[in-house]
Amino acid sequence: MKLLFAAAEIFPYAKTGGLSDVAQALPATLVKQIDILSVMPLYDFIDREKFVLTAMNESFQITLGEDIYEVSLFEGMNQGVRTLFVYEATLCHCIAPYGNKNGDYLSNDIRFGIFSKTLVILSQMFNIDVLHLNDWHTALAALWAKELLPELHVIFTIHNLAFQGLFLRDSLERLGLEEHYFTPEGIEFWGDMSCMKAGIAYSDAVTTVSPTYSKEILLPEFGCGLEGFLQVHSHKLHGILNGIDTVLFDPLTDPALPKKYGAGKLANKKNNKIMFYKEYGLKDADKPLIVFIGRFTEQKGLDIIIQALPKLLTMKCNIAILGEGDEAMAEALKSASKNHDNFLIRFGYDESLSHRMYSAADFLLMPSRFEPCGLNQLISLRYGTLPIVNDVGGLHDSVQDIDDRARSICGQGIVLDKLSSNTIVRSVKRALQFFADTKRFSKITKANMHCDVSFEESVKSYLKLYRKNV
Ligand code: ADP
Domain locations in the chain as residue ranges: 2-245+455-468, 267-449
Is-same-fold flag (2-245+455-468; 267-449)? yes
Nearest CA to ligand 1 atom 22: 349
What's the burial of 240, exposed, middle or buried (CB within 10 Å: 0-12/13-18/19+)? buried
360-381 CB burial, b ≥16 within 10 A, e <16: bbbbbbbbbbbbbbbbbbbbbb
Q: Is the CB of 216 under 6 A from ligand 1?
A: no
3-class DSSP state for residue 190? coil
CA–centroid distance, residue 23 to ligand 1 (Å): 13
* CATH number at 2-245+455-468: 3.40.50.2000
pLDDT of 19: 98
Q: Cβ(411)–Cβ(381) under 8 Å?
A: yes
Query: What's the pLDDT tens digit per position in 335-391?
Result: 999 889 999 999 999 999 999 999 999 999 999 999 999 999 999 999 999 999 999
Indicate the top mutation candidate among 19, 135, 295 to test ligand 1's pocket, ranked by most ligand atoms within 8 A of CB. 295
CA–centroid distance, residue 419 to ligand 1 (Å): 21
Type of residue at 470: V
Indicate the top mutation candidate among 19, 21, 241 to test ligand 1's pocket, ranked by most ligand atoms within 8 A of CB. 21
Q: Is the CB of 387 under 6 A from ligand 1?
A: no
φ, ψ dihedrals at 216, nearest 5° = -60, -40
- Is 470 a residue whose pLDDT tops 70? no
Nearest CA to ligand 1 atom 19: 294
Q: What percent of the chain has pLDDT over 90?
A: 96
What's the rounded mean pLDDT across residues 253-265? 96
3-class DSSP state for residue 74? strand
Q: Which residues contact 16 (CB under 8 A, 6 or more apart)?
A: 9, 96, 97, 98, 349
- The answer to whether the pTM exceeds 0.85 is yes
CA–centroid distance, residue 403 to ligand 1 (Å): 28
As a whole number of angstroms, the distance between CA 127 and CA 149 comes to: 11
What would be the CATH architecture of the domain defined by 267-449?
A: 3-Layer(aba) Sandwich (3.40)
3-class DSSP state for residue 110? helix
Give the atom of ligand 1 at the shortest distance from the alpha carbon of 19.
4
What's the rounded mean pLDDT across residues 298-315? 97
- Residue positions counted in the chain: 470
CA–centroid distance, residue 302 to ligand 1 (Å): 14
Type of residue at 31: V
Q: What percent of the chain has pLDDT over 70?
A: 100
The CA radius of gyration of the chain, in Å to the nearest whole number, is 22
Q: Is the CB of 322 under 6 A from ligand 1?
A: yes
Give the atom of ligand 1 at the shortest distance from the alpha carbon of 242.
7
- Is 469 a residue whose pLDDT tops 70? no
- pLDDT tier for residue 49 given thresholds of 50, 70 and 90: confident
Query: What's the pLDDT tens digit per position in 402-417?
Result: 999 888 889 999 999 9
Q: Is the CB of 376 under 6 A from ligand 1?
A: yes
Nearest CA to ligand 1 atom 12: 17
Least confident of 101-105, 291-295, 371-375, 463-467: 101-105
Give me the torsion for CA of 241, 245, 251, 256, rounded to 10°: -130
